[in-house]
């Protein structure tokens, strides 16, 4: 049986992964200090950045805390949920696709 070699010319196109925004939402119960702590601890913001984002959340009802791949965004939102629950705050974190 003859040996047949086939050359495959595949053009592999790598696409950038979709990115997702993690947003924190304002509520009437979560303290501003706790939000700043979350922003510094989970999102690795400086104190000045955390305070600025916290004020945006307070004034505009929500603010973007970071933009990540889906898995990382989902993990960050879950970390916020767990920390808020441990501290008995209703702080809400959501993710949405970055346009």
Per-residue pLDDT of 25-64, as tens digits, reads 999 999 999 999 999 999 999 999 999 999 999 999 999 9
User: Within 10 A of 45 (CB to CB), how many other CB atoms are there?
Assistant: 19
In the block, residue with structure tokens 């970390």? 79
Task: List the CATH code of the domain at 27-97.
Answer: 3.30.1390.10
Residue spans of the domains in the chain: they are 27-97
Per-residue pLDDT at 16? 85
pLDDT band of 3, cuts 50, 70, 90? low
Per-residue pLDDT at 94? 98
pLDDT tens for each residue of 58-73 = 999 999 999 999 999 9
Q: What is the DSSP letter of 93?
A: E
- What predicted TM-score, i.e. pTM, was given to this entire model? 0.83
């Amino acid at each position: 049986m003859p040996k047949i070699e086939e050359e495959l010319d595949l053009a592999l196109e790598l696409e950038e992964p979709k990115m997702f925004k993690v947003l924190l939402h304002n509520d009437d119960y979560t303290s501003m200090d706790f939000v700043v702590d979350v922003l510094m601890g989970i999102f690795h913001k400086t104190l000045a950045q955390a305070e600025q984002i916290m004020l945006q959340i307070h004034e505009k009802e929500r603010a973007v805390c970071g933009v990540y791949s889906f898995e990382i965004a989902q993990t960050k939102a879950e970390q916020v949920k767990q920390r808020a629950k441990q501290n008995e705050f209703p702080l809400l974190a959501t993710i949405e696709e970055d346009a």
